[in-house]
Amino acid sequence: MAQSPDVPTRSASGRHGKPWRAAGGVLVALLALSGAALVGTGLNPAPAQPPQPADVEPEVYPEPDWAAEPAPQWESASPTPSTTAAPTGTPPSARASTTPAPVGMPRSEPTKITIPRIKVDAKIMSVGLNGDGTVQVPSLKQARLAGWYKVGASPGEIGNAVIVGHVDSAAIGPAVFFKLGALTRGDEVRVTRKDGKVARFRVDTVKSYPKTSFPSEVVYGTADTAKLQVVTCGGRFDKKEGSYTNNIVVSASRIP
pLDDT digits (tens, 9 = 90+) for 77-108: 444 444 555 555 555 555 555 677 888 999 99
At 181, is the secondary structure helix, strand, or coil?
Answer: helix
Q: Given a cut of 50, is residue 241 above it in pLDDT?
A: yes
Q: How many CA atoms lie within 13 A of 186 on its CB side?
A: 2
- Label residue 154 by pLDDT band (50, 70, 90): very high
In angstroms, the CA 81 to CA 67 distance is 28
Strand (E) or helix (H) holding 20 = strand 20-23
Domain 10-47+105-254 superfamily per CATH? Sortase (2.40.260.10)
